[in-house]
Amino acid sequence: MKIIYLGDIVGRSGRNIVTQMLPEINDRLKPDAIIVNGENAAAGFGITEKISKELLDLGIDVISTGNHVWDQKDIKSYINTEPRLIRPINFPSGTPGNGSVIVEDKRGRRTLVINVMGRVFMDPLDDPFKAVDNELKKHTLGVSVDFILVDVHAEATSEKMAMAQYLDGRVSFVVGTHSHIPTADAQIFDGGTAYQTDAGMCGDYNSVIGMDKAEPINRFTKKLRGDRFSPAIGPGTLCGVFVQSDNKTGLATRIEPIRMGSRLIETFPDIS
């Protein structure tokens, strides 16, 4: 299978670049599923029902989230009605929504997407390792599902790496989100699991991790809060990851980063 994962969409700039580049991505790579992290899609904080529907209408199969999932008021009711919008699986029992979803492509192949949030320098949620373990007890890669993707929304690179190594050989792809900076460590582990510490963001990189520069600089230099953070509104850059898997085992055979847009050096998989 061929899977596209796009990192955190930040504000209108991020939504615009995803909308602009998705047709080319579909044409050149012909992915079997597209997953994005949308937790910053609504003005940098959370996601709304309207934006979720717009992203799904583009042909995106699953929207994952993270610590900002509840920032928009309407999302608590909507997330219970749209299974393709997921939140971290290790929120306490009774939290609205679900932490995983299975989507099928046109050939009936099944992709399981699990969203989990780290605890280092983050909210103290339930054990992320145990939460993913419990979900994987329900599914077997290469048997009941054809591809398993785990979005680890975490601050610490060590926690993301530890999760990926822990899951090596049991899932197809572990990808980190939340840091908004694409890392240069795309690789396939010994057991066949593809990994990248952070997919990066889809947004304006002439910023401080997607936010207009003025207020973050003010807080760092003066230690005072001024205005609210607001997303940078310049031209966006799309960042993501392309993963290809073995059709029998579901394990990864290829991983390459994707960068398209105005700011970062572009890179795109050649599958010709």
Active site residues: 68
**Rounded Cα distance, 91 and 134, in Å:** 13
Tell me which DSSP letter residue 105 carries.
-
* Residues in Cβ contact with 71 at an 8 Å cutoff, skipping those fewer than 6 apart: 42, 45, 46
Dihedral class, residue 239 (left if φ above 0, else alpha if ψ from -120 to 50, else beta): beta
What's the distance, CA 17 to chain centroid? 16
Tell me which DSSP letter residue 246 carries.
-
**Rounded Cα distance, 35 and 132, in Å:** 18
